């Protein structure tokens, strides 16, 4: 798997942050055509457990992840194969097993475990930026509950894993 250059990650976040609502809508429509299962997963995962702000952040980060992975090399646009239900199910199950293995880990060891998860991911720089973004203090009018940040990270890791098979 080709490593994603940090400049590509930074550029994608910057570009997305500067987009008009109309352009964001167009990108989501494109994602719906190219990766409908992933878009559906991001919009529906965890049912009503996520509030509207959390769901919007999850969707935003998921769209940025998709854009970054489809631009593996700096500036090079690469259409990705459409993710199937089997691929998504396997990624979800793999991450559920990983979560089970972390259930009895102490809080001191948990930080080390998250570091290992990031380091061992096929796109460690991308996952690291996703985690850092989730851990940032949200804007004043945005409510991202601390208890949901971990699961949001897992959902986004699942998306990364799907594209990294």
Range of 159's domain?
A: 6-163
pLDDT tens readout for residues 119-149: 889 999 999 999 999 988 777 778 889 899 9
Residue 110 is assigned to a structural domain of this protein: yes
Number of compact structural domains in the chain: 1
Residue 45 is assigned to a structural domain of this protein: yes
Residue 1 is assigned to a structural domain of this protein: no
Candidates 57, 47, 66, 51; CA nearest to 9 is 66
Residue 93 is assigned to a structural domain of this protein: yes
Residue 156 is assigned to a structural domain of this protein: yes
Residue 81 is assigned to a structural domain of this protein: yes
Print burial letters for 104-113: b (CB count within 10 Å at least 16), e (below 16): eeeeeeeeee
CA dihedral sign of residues 57, 2, 113, 37: positive
Residue 125 is assigned to a structural domain of this protein: yes
Residue 99 has pLDDT above 80, yes or no: yes
Six-digit token pair at 62? 């998921």
Q: What is the pLDDT of residue 53?
A: 93
Q: What is the pLDDT of residue 78?
A: 67
Give the contacts of 27 (CB within 8 A, at least 6 positions apart).
Answer: 19, 63, 67
């Amino acid at each position: 798997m080709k490593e994603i250059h940090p400049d590509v990650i930074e550029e994608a976040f910057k570009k997305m942050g500067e987009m008009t609502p109309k352009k964001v809508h167009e990108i989501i429509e494109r994602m719906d055509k190219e990766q409908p299962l992933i878009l559906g997963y991001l919009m529906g995962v965890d049912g009503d457990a996520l509030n509207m702000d959390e769901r919007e952040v999850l969707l935003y980060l998921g769209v940025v992840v998709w854009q970054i992975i489809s631009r593996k090399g700096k500036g090079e646009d690469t259409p990705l194969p459409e993710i199937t239900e089997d691929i998504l199910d396997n990624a979800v199950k793999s991450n559920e097993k990983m979560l089970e293995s972390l259930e009895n880990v102490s809080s001191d060891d948990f930080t080390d475990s998250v570091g290992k998860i990031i380091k061992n991911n096929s796109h460690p720089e991308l996952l690291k930026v996703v985690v850092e973004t989730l851990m940032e203090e949200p804007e004043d009018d945005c409510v991202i509950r601390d208890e949901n940040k971990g699961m949001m990270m897992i959902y986004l890791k699942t998306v990364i894993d799907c594209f990294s098979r």
